[in-house]
Amino acid sequence: MTEPTSTRFVKMHGAGNDYVYVDCFRERAPADPAKLAPRIADRHRGVGGDGLILVLPSTRAAARMRMFNADGSEAEMCGNGVRCVAHLVVAHGHAPAGSVTIETGRGVLTVDVRRAGPRLSQVRVDMGEPILDAVRIPVAGAGNGRVVDALSPAIGSEEPWWNATGLDPRMTCVSMGNPHVAYYCRDVAAVPLETVGPRVERHPSFPQRVNVHFVQVRSPNRVVMRTWERGSGITQACGTGAAAVCVAGVLTGRTGRRIVAEVPGGELELEWAADGHVFLTGPAEEVFEGAWRDG
């Protein structure tokens, strides 16, 4: 009888957005990561997390990232995830600290890693230019232009919670390699995200589903946001979502090009620079290491 094998992993988080990471420079890559992700991400019967991220060798960069949501679906990008991948690559000696390149579903991103401790780094990511064309995000029925403060079929008719939150039911849509929709309101804490989030995520307006964000503007350079992530549900932070919110704030005239996003897991710094690229800065922290028995 063949003895079961095990795979070592590292649990990490970026502003509370936590994933299980497998260093595939050292470990064999899981045969079916889409099947493994829901099991390992289960917070009651698994390790627990928002999903599974594989750190793989790359011919184009220092490492390649593959990300699987808690439901097993594969996503193109994760801003908090790529920061943690860059930390792991440096911490495990696969690349020196400083400027590191990571291959993602969005392309090769340049990440600046500054070690803050044995298990912690402060990481700045060049997220690239936002995608604003509705067809490319994609948003169905929106034509070829931008979707900025547009009517939102996904929100539906007025509901009682609108008044409690001061919701502006118009939507602004941005892709950072994965699709996002932002709604603005007076009180994000009062949004019934657990019911509204999944409804918007899977609305026909979004053919590839969508990450859903509700945003409260504190000042031109500070916002509070809550997120329903496509495939994972309510999360403590969403890096690509914070980048999309930075862009949305500029497009709608609500915020400036540099903001701090307060998320349930901490704070993220964003800048939509003059060259069109969005930069995301925040922590990447190891929580613990372990081994997952295969089979």
Phi, psi of 128 (to 5 degrees): 85, -170
Active site members: 78, 238
User: Which residue is it, tokens 């011919």?
Assistant: 59
Phi, psi of 222 (to 5 degrees): -150, 130
Looking only at the bridges linking them, the beta strands covering 107-117 and 266-272 are unpaired
In single-letter form, the type of residue at position 138 comes to P
User: Which residue is it, tokens 């890096």?
Assistant: 239
Are the beta carbons of 65 and 33 closer than 8 angstroms? Answer: no
Return the H-helix or E-strand segment holding 39. Answer: helix 33-41
Are the beta carbons of 123 and 86 closer than 8 angstroms? Answer: yes
Return the H-helix or E-strand segment holding 276. Answer: none
The SS3 call for residue 86 is helix
The SS3 call for residue 160 is helix
Please report, for residues 16, 91, 135, 175, 294, the alpha-carbon distance to residue 124 in angstroms, rounded to integers and kept in the order given. Answer: 17, 16, 29, 19, 34
Looking only at the bridges linking them, the beta strands covering 120-126 and 278-293 are antiparallel
Give the Cα separation of 16 and 196 in Å (integer).
22
Please tell me what DSSP assigns to residue 78. -
User: Which residue is it, tokens 């690239």?
Assistant: 128
Q: CB neighbours (10 Å) of residue 209?
A: 17
